[in-house]
C-alpha cells in the first residue's frame, strides 16, 4: 500500500530515474485526464483510508460497516469473495471505490485489470498483498475514457517512458563520464595517499567546475600535507643529528677528562716510582761494586740494575704518553728512535699472541714537528692493527722507508718518510674503509683503544703536511701508509 | 775530603745517596726538608748541596736561591724525579722534570740530575764541581 502511495512520486535512485509500476494505471488514463478529473486524488484517498487498517481490522470491522450496502451494489462478476463497497461522489458524478477482500486466494492475474464491467462504469483494479492475503483494490468511475483516448494515452505513455528511459541512460552515461569516473580516479589517488604514497597526484579531468575545485582543494591539501611531512622529517633528522653530536661531544669530553686524570695520575705515580727506583739503583750498584765481578751475586745484582733501568725507561715513556698534547713542540727529530720508543711502549701492552716486527730501512731520516704526535700516530695505528688481531693473533709489521715523489693525492712532489703499519687481522670492507678517518667513527665499543682514533692520526698527519693511505683485504689485513715530508728537503727548500 | 749536604724529603733516597757518597769518601749530612738543610748550613758549611726540587713547605728552588745568595761558595746539584724523556730533543710539558730542573738551573743550581740516576752519574757530577 505504501508502495502505491510512494509510486505517485518520482524517485531518484542514484542517477537513474525510476517510475514505479503502480503509477502505470493512472498514466493509462492520460496525464491530462487524471489531473482534470481528480481521479488520482480520489484513488489515492481511498487507498489511504484502506491503508490505515490492518488486514485483520479490515476483515473484522469492514464487513459490518459495509455489508448492508454491498448487497445492492454488488458487482458479483469480478469477485468470488466478500466485497466491501463505498461510494464517493464529487457532486456531479458518482465515483465508486470498491475494496474487494479476497478470502480465498485469487488466481494470479495481471496486476491491472482494465475494462468495462457494467453500464457506464469503468474500473481500475489493483491487487496488493496484505499479510497473507491478496487484496483487490478497485477504482470505479461512471464515465470512463473512450477507447481512443485510452489508446492515445497508452502510446503517449510508451513514448514518454521510452524517451524518459533514453534520457535517463544518456544522463547517467554523461554523469558517469563527468563525475563518477574522475571520482573513481580521485578515490584511487586518495587511497594511495592514505596508504603512504603522499606524492601521488590528485588530479581529475572534469569539465564540472565544482569537481575541478574539489580536486584543486584536495591537491593543495595533499601538497601542504607533503610539505608539513617533509618539514617534520627534517626537524626529526636535525634533532637526531644534534643529539648524536651532543652525545659524541659528551663522550669525547668524558674521555678527555679521563685521559687527563690518567695523565695526572701517571705523573704522580711516575714521580713516586722514580723516588723508589733511586735507592734500588744506587744500593744495587754499590753492592755490585763491592762484589767480585764473576760471582753469582754480582750477576744477580747486574740483573737488578738492568731491571731498574728498564723500569726507569718505562716510567719515562708513561710520562711521555700521559701528558696532554695541548701545545705542540716543534723540532727536527729523527723518525726511527721516535717510532722505536712508541713500539717499546706498545710491546708492553699488546697481547703475547701478537708479534711486533720493526723494519727500519732508512734510519737517518728526520722530520719536522712534534715527536710526541708521531708517538700518537704510531700508537693509534698499531692499536688499531693489533685490536683487529686480538682473538686470532698475528703480526704487526712496522716499516720505515723513504719515498720519492709518492703517487699519493694531495702530496707535492718531494722526498717523504714513509711509515707503514700492516696487520694480518680481519681487514675492512670498503664501506668501513670509507669512514675510518671520520671523527667518532668506530667499529669498536666505547672506551676501547686509545680513544683518539684514526681521525686524530689523519689530523696529525695532515697538520704535518703529510698524507695517509689505507689498503685492506677482508680476512687478510690492513695496511696504513703515512707520508711525512723529510726535514732535510724542507731545509733545502728554505735555504 | 769534601763535605756534602744531601736534602730530600724521601728518607730512603737521601740515605742511598749518602751511602754512595760516603763509600766514595765524602763526608755526608742528610736533611729531609729545606728547613733542616738551612739549619745544617748554619752549623757547618758544606762544599756541595745535593737537593731535591719538589719538597713540601719550602720548595727546593727556594732553597737553591737562599744557598746561592747566602753561601755563594757552595756548589748546588738539583735532583728531580718527575721523569726522564730519553735522548730525544723534544720538550716535556710544564710540570715535567725537565721544567723543574730548568727552573733549578735558573735559580742557580750548578748541575741537575734526573732521578733515578746511576751511581756513576752522581759521582761524576759531584767530582765535576770540586776543585782539582
SS3 sequence, chain A?
Answer: CHHHHHHCCCEEECCEEECCHHHHHHHHCCHHHHHHHCHHHHHHHHHHHHHCCCHHHHHHHHHHHHHHHHHHHCCCCCCCCEEEEEEEECCCCEEEEEEEECCCCCCCCCCEEEEECCCCCEEEEEEEEECCEEEEEEEEECCCCCHHHHHHHHHHHHHHHHHHHHHHHHHHHHHHHHHHHHHHHHHHHHHHHHCCCCCCCCCCCCCCHHHHHHHHHHHHHHHHHHHHHHHHHHHHHHHHHHHHHHHHHHHHHHHHHHHHHHHHHHHHHHHHHHHHHHHHHHHHHHHHHCCCCCCHHHHHHHHHHHHHHHHHHHHHHHHHHHCCCCCCCCEEEEHHHHHHHHHHHHHHHCCCCEEEEEEECCCCCEEEECHHHHHHHHHHHHHHHHHCCCCCCEEEEEEEEEEECCCCCCCCCCEEEEEEEEECCCCCCHHHHCCCCCCCCCCCCCCCCCCCHHHHHHHHHHHCCCEEEEEEECCCEEEEEEEEEEHHHHHHHHC
For residue A447, pLDDT over 60 is answered with no
Rounded Cα distance, A309 and A326, in Å? 30
Q: Give me the pLDDT at residue B125, please.
A: 95
**pLDDT score for A454:** 78
Which pLDDT score is estimated for A334?
86
A2 pLDDT above the threshold of 70: no
Q: What is the mean pLDDT of residues A63-82?
A: 32
Q: Are B85 and A243 in contact (CB under 8 A)?
A: no
Are A337 and B88 spatial neighbours (Cβ–Cβ below 8 Å)?
yes
Closest of B32, B95, B53, B15 to residue A326, by C-alpha? B95
Whether the Cβ atoms of residue A137 and residue A3 lie closer than 8 Å to each other: no
Interface test with A, best of B116, B117, B124 (most A CBs within 10 A): B116
Q: B116–A274: do the CB atoms touch at under 8 Å?
A: yes
Inform me whether the pLDDT recorded for A294 exceeds 60: yes
pLDDT band at B63 (very low <50, low <70, confident <90, very high): very high
Share of chain A above pLDDT 90, in %: 16
B89 contact residues in A (CB cutoff 8 A):
331, 333
Instruction: Please state the rounded mean pLDDT for residues B44-50.
Output: 94
Q: Which residues contact A13 (CB under 8 A, 6 or more apart)?
A: none
Contact between A320 and B89 using a beta-carbon 8 Å cutoff: no
Lowest mean pLDDT among A46-55, A395-404, A465-474, B102-111: A46-55
Query: If DSSP codes are grouped into helix, strand and coil, which group holds residue B20?
Result: helix
In this model, does residue A129 exceed pLDDT 70? no
Report the pLDDT value the prediction gives residue A116, as an integer from 0 to 100.
Answer: 42
Model confidence at B47, pLDDT cuts 50, 70, 90, reads: very high
Tell me, rounded to whole angstroms, the distance of Cα A492 from its chain centroid.
62
Instruction: Give the pLDDT of residue A148.
Output: 53
Q: Greater confidence, A13 or A140? A: A140
pLDDT tier at A58, thresholds 50, 70, 90: very low
Nine-digit cell string for A319: 710520562
* Cα angle: B10, vertex B12, B14; to 5 degrees: 70
User: What count of residues does chain A have?
Assistant: 495
Please name every residue paired with A399 in a beta bridge, in sequence order, or none if there are none.
A359, A420
CB contact under 8 A, A319 and B89: no
Task: Give the pLDDT of residue A9.
Answer: 31
pLDDT at B128 over 80: yes
Residue B92 has pLDDT above 80, yes or no: no
Give the whole-angstrom CA distance, residue A370 versus residue A422. 24
Average pLDDT, chain A: 68
Q: What kind and span of H or E run contains B98?
A: helix B97-107
Q: How confident is the model at residue A88 (pLDDT cuts 50, 70, 90)?
A: very low
Question: pLDDT value at position A229?
Answer: 87
φ, ψ of residue A248 in degrees (nearest 5): -60, -45
CB of B117 less than 8 A from some CB of A:
yes
Query: What's the pLDDT at A153?
Result: 64
Average pLDDT of B90-104?
54
In A, residues 252-281, which contact B (CB 8 Å cutoff)?
A: 267, 270-271, 274-281
pLDDT higher than threshold 90 for residue A481: yes
Work out the minimum CA distance from B92 to partner chain A, whole angstroms. 7
- In angstroms, the CA A29 to CA A27 distance is 5
Give A168 or A348, the one with higher predicted confidence: A168
Residue B124, chain A, CB below 8 Å: the answer is no
- For residue A478, the distance in angstroms to the closest alpha carbon of chain B comes to 31
pLDDT at A331: 80
Helix (H, G, I), strand (E, B) or coil at B30: strand
Q: Report phi then psi at A353, rounded to 5.
A: -80, 5
Are B13 and A324 within 8 A, CB to CB?
A: no
Distance CA A495, CA B3 (A): 53
Identify the residue with better confidence: A269 or A289. A289
- Range from A85-99, A204-218, A231-245, A409-423 carrying the lowest mean pLDDT: A85-99
C-alpha angle with apex A465: A368 to A257, nearest 5 degrees?
Answer: 80
CB contact under 8 A, A275 and B12: yes
Chain A contact present for B33, CB below 8 A: no
The 10s digit of each residue's pLDDT in A353-382 is: 899 999 987 667 888 887 778 888 898 899
Average pLDDT over residues A65-89: 34
Which set of grid coordinates corresponds to residue B123?
759521582
CA distance A170 to A102: 44
Q: Kindly indicate the confidence band of residue A322, based on its pLDDT and cuts at 50, 70 and 90.
A: low
Lowest mean pLDDT, pick from A93-102, A371-380, A383-392: A93-102
Residue in chain A nearest B122 by alpha carbon:
A282
Per-residue pLDDT, A77: 29
- Claim: this prediction has a pTM higher than 0.95: no
Q: Please name the residues between 319 and 378 in chain A that touch chain B, using a CB distance below 8 Å.
A: 319-320, 323-324, 326-327, 329, 331, 333, 337-338, 341, 370-372
Q: How distant, in Å, are the alpha carbons of A93, A97, A117, A142 from that of A121?
A: 11, 11, 7, 4
Which candidate, A391, A318, A309, places its Cα nearest to that of A349? A318
Best-predicted range by mean pLDDT (A315-329, A356-370, B7-21): B7-21
The answer to whether ipTM exceeds 0.90 is: no
Amino acid at each position: 500500500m505504501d508502495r502505491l502511495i510512494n509510486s505517485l512520486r518520482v524517485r531518484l535512485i542514484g542517477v537513474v530515474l525510476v517510475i514505479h509500476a503502480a503509477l502505470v494505471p493512472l498514466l493509462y488514463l492520460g496525464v491530462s485526464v487524471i489531473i482534470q478529473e481528480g481521479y488520482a486524488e480520489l484513488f489515492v484517498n481511498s487507498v489511504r483510508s484502506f491503508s490505515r487498517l490492518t488486514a485483520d481490522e479490515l476483515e473484522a470491522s469492514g464487513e459490518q460497516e459495509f455489508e448492508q450496502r454491498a448487497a445492492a451494489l454488488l458487482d458479483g462478476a469480478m469477485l468470488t469473495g466478500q466485497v466491501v463497497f463505498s461510494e464517493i461522489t464529487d457532486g456531479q458524478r458518482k465515483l465508486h471505490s470498491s475494496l474487494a477482500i479476497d478470502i480465498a486466494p485469487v488466481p494470479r492475474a495481471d496486476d491491472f485489470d482494465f475494462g468495462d464491467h457494467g453500464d457506464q462504469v469503468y474500473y481500475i483494479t489493483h491487487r496488493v498483498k496484505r499479510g497473507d492475503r491478496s487484496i483487490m483494490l478497485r477504482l470505479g468511475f461512471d464515465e470512463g475514457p473512450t477507447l481512443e483516448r485510452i489508446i492515445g494515452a497508452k502510446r503517449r505513455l510508451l513514448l514518454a517512458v521510452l524517451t524518459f528511459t533514453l534520457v535517463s541512460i544518456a544522463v547517467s552515461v554523461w554523469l558517469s563520464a563527468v563525475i563518477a569516473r574522475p571520482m573513481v580516479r580521485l578515490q584511487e589517488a586518495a587511497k594511495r595517499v592514505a596508504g603512504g604514497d603522499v606524492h601521488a597526484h590528485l588530479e581529475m579531468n572534469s569539465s564540472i567546475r565544482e569537481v575541478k575545485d574539489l580536486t584543486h582543494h584536495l591537491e593543495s591539501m595533499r601538497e601542504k600535507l607533503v610539505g608539513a611531512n617533509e618539514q617534520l622529517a627534517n626537524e626529526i633528522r636535525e634533532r637526531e643529528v644534534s643529539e648524536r653530536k651532543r652525545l659524541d661531544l659528551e663522550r669525547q669530553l668524558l674521555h678527555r677528562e679521563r685521559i687527563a686524570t690518567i695523565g695526572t695520575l701517571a705523573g704522580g705515580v711516575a714521580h713516586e716510582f722514580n723516588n723508589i727506583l733511586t735507592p734500588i739503583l744506587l744500593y744495587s750498584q754499590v753492592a755490585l761494586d763491592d762484589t767480585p765481578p764473576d760471582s753469582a751475586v754480582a750477576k744477580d745484582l747486574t740483573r737488578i740494575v738492568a731491571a731498574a733501568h728498564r723500569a726507569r725507561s718505562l716510567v719515562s715513556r708513561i710520562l711521555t704518553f700521559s701528558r696532554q698534547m695541548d701545545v705542540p713542540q716543534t723540532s727536527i727529530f729523527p723518525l726511527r728512535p721516535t717510532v722505536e720508543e712508541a713500539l717499546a711502549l706498545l710491546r708492553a701492552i699488546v697481547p703475547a699472541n701478537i708479534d711486533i716486527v720493526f723494519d727500519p730501512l732508512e734510519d737517518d731520516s728526520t722530520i719536522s714537528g712534534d715527536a710526541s704526535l708521531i708517538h700518537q700516530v704510531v700508537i693509534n695505528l698499531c692499536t688499531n692493527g693489533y685490536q683487529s688481531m686480538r682473538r686470532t693473533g698475528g703480526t704487526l709489521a712496522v716499516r720505515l722507508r723513504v719515498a720519492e715523489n709518492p703517487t699519493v693525492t694531495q702530496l707535492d712532489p718531494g722526498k717523504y718518510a714513509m711509515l707503514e703499519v700492516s696487520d694480518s687481522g680481519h681487514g675492512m670492507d670498503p664501506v668501513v674503509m670509507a669512514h675510518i678517518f671520520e671523527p667518532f667513527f668506530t667499529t669498536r665499543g666505547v672506551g676501547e683503544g686509545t680513544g683518539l682514533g684514526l681521525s686524530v692520526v689523519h689530523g696529525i698527519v695532515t697538520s704535518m703536511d703529510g698524507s695517509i693511505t689505507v689498503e685492506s683485504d677482508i680476512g687478510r689485513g690492513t695496511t696504513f701508509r703515512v707520508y711525512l715530508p723529510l726535514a732535510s728537503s724542507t731545509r733545502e727548500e728554505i735555504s | 775530603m769534601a763535605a756534602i749536604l744531601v736534602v730530600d724529603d724521601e728518607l730512603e733516597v737521601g740515605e742511598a745517596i749518602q751511602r754512595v757518597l760516603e763509600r766514595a769518601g765524602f763526608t755526608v749530612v742528610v736533611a729531609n726538608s729545606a728547613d733542616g738543610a738551612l739549619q745544617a748550613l748554619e752549623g757547618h758549611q758544606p762544599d756541595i748541596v745535593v737537593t731535591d726540587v719538589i719538597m713540601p713547605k719550602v720548595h727546593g728552588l727556594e732553597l737553591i736561591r737562599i744557598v746561592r745568595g747566602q753561601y755563594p761558595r757552595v756548589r748546588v746539584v738539583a735532583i728531580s724525579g718527575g721523569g726522564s724523556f730519553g735522548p730525544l730533543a723534544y720538550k716535556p710539558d710544564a710540570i715535567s722534570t725537565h721544567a723543574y730542573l730548568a727552573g733549578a738551573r735558573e735559580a742557580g743550581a750548578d748541575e741537575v740530575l734526573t732521578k733515578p740516576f746511576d751511581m756513576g752519574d752522581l759521582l761524576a757530577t759531584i767530582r765535576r764541581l770540586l776543585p782539582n
